[in-house]
Structure 1
Amino acid sequence: MTVPVIIADDHPFILSGVESVLGNSRFKVMATATDGQQALDAIAAHDPAIAILDVRMPVLGGVAVLQALREAGDRRVVVLLTADIEDRQLITALDAGVDGIVFKEGGEDRLIECLETVHAGERYIPGAILAHADKVRRTVDADPFRQLTAREAELVWMLGQGLKNREIAERFDLSEGAIKFAFHAIYRKLGVSTRTELAMMVQRRGFA
């Protein structure tokens, strides 16, 4: 029985490599994407059982796509394929319920094993990664802004300077909708619900 998947990676070489690895397996590639928004569109169009996402992509990275799916109530299997992953990205991905993490180096030997594992309903995350995540969680102190990625911290700083979403979008050459989505991910991390609450938090803690 074939299992439909989509692959998202902004490097054509990686895309073709993953397709080649899956070529003789039961995992059928329904579509490929080169950025996070394309990945969301491909998921909506093809309804794959598994989404294989690069962590770093234009527009939205793989972790942001994972968050978008979960926030929409979509529990489909998501596997992150990455060269490396920042601590904050790792914690966010685990909290969002990522099903598998495969590193690109040597990934051709592990990808099929990962897909078989996650399709069977189990997580495929190396023990060393989980141990590292536990260590990171223990080192995060009372400063909630330490949870933010560098890009998210920059967005919060701009908000603290009084910039509107439209102005921030222009600086990043992104749509206003993409900026709103990014702020919603920040709200979730920091435990706030609105832009006003975030602005007050920034003011109280002197982040800006």
Structure 2
Amino acid sequence: MNKHSIITADDHPLLLKGLNDFLLEKKYNVIGSGNNGREAYNLITKMDPDIAILDIQMPYMSGLEIAKNCKTNGLNTKIVLITLHKERDLYQKAQDLNIFGYILKEFALEEIENCINTVSSGEHYYSPKIMELLADDIPEDSALTDLTPSEKKILKLIAKDKTNKEIASLLFISYRTVEKHRSNIINKLKLEPKTNSLLIWAKEHHQKFF
């Protein structure tokens, strides 16, 4: 049996049973199961599972709300969300909350083993289909050509997880100048001014424009 403890939650009984039956057949250590978000969060706080596989939309608490509460309260359970939604803003919220897994419901049983194994090793897993859909949402080439050489340098460093302070030091410019460049890049790429939106975009697309 896989030693990592798992809880599951979904407000659709048949989907929940299908998921649990599959995991148990594959010898995963499922220690609890809930029918709504409140039950799921209570299971997490009481049982401290390694992984929680949650439907993103449930009564009382959504999967995102559960993840936010876990983050706020310092709970170590790694959250995996199963969703029908493919919108970029939900993906960004998942990133902001450090959600470890994000998979589409129609591919859940195909991907769940790979997802669990990846998450168990401390790495993030996002459905390849999600990444493919997001990759299609690339700004027009003209937006990239609008970037100045300095902005392109900064974008490369952002993709390498460099902070504003580190970028300023590497390029011998002020912290304020880096912030101004970031703001200009976000405007030119027509990104939403949300936390980490530029970092997420740079990481997803760096191979396409560097």
Task: Indicate whether the TM-score tops 0.5.
Answer: yes
Structure 2 residue 113 is matched with structure 1 residue 112: yes
Q: Which amino acid in 1 is paired with 2:76?
A: R
Distance 1:44 1:29 in 2: 16
Q: Please show how residues 65-80 of structure 1 align to structure 2 within 5 Å.
A: 65-80=66-81
2:97 and 2:61 mapped to 1: Cα distance?
15
The corresponding residue for 1:166 is none
Q: How does 1:67-106 map to 2 (within 5 A)?
A: 67-106=68-107
**Structure 1 residues 26 and 122, CA gap change in structure 2 (3 angstroms):** farther
TM-score, normalised to structure 1, is 0.61
- Write the letter of the residue equivalent to 1:123: H
The answer to whether the aligner puts 1:56 opposite 2:85 as a matched pair is no
Distance (whole Å) between structure 1 residues aligned to residue 31 and residue 42 of structure 2: 12
Task: Assess if the C-alpha contact under 8 Å between 1:67 and 1:96 holds in 2.
Answer: yes
State the 1:26 CA deviation. Answer: 3.7
CA RMSD of aligned residues (A): 2.5
Give the SS at the match of 1:51. Answer: strand
Give me the whole-angstrom Cα distance separating, in 2, the residues matched to 1:59 and 1:140: 32
What letter is aligned with 1:6? I
Any conservation in 2 of the 1:2–1:26 contact (CA below 8 Å)? no
CA distance in structure 1 between the aligned counterparts of 2:89 and 2:107, rounded to whole angstroms: 23
- Which protein is bigger by CA-based radius of gyration? 2
| Partner in structure 1 of residue 30 of structure 2 | 29
* CA distance in 2: counterparts of 1:53 and 1:135, whole angstroms: 29
Contact 1:78 1:99 in 2 (8 A): yes
Query: Which segment is superposed worse, 25-34 or 107-116?
Result: 25-34
* Cα shift readout 1:106-144 (whole Å, capped 9, x = no counterpart): 3211111110111011111135534728859854445x7
3-state SS of the aligned residue for 2:45? helix
Change (3 A) 1:107 1:88: same
Percent identity of the aligned residues? 29
Secondary structure of the structure 2 residue equivalent to 1:114: helix
* Structure 1 residue ranges (4+ consecutive) displaced by more than 4 angstroms after TM superposition: 133-138
Q: Which runs of 5+ in 1 are unaligned?
A: 148-208
1:85 Cα deviation from its structure 2 partner = 4.0
Asked whether the 8 Å contact 2:9–2:54 carries over to 1, the reply is: yes
SS of the equivalent of 1:79 reads strand
Residues 41-94 of structure 1 deviation map (CA, whole Å, 9 limit, x = unaligned): 011121111000111111111011111101111232111111224332221111
Count the aligned residue pairs.
Answer: 144
Q: Which runs of 5+ in 2 are unaligned?
A: 140-185, 198-210
SS, match of residue 53 in structure 1:
strand
Judged with a 3 Å threshold, the aligned counterparts in structure 2 of structure 1 residues 11 and 140 are, in CA distance, closer, same or farther, namely same
**Matched residue type, 2:9:** A
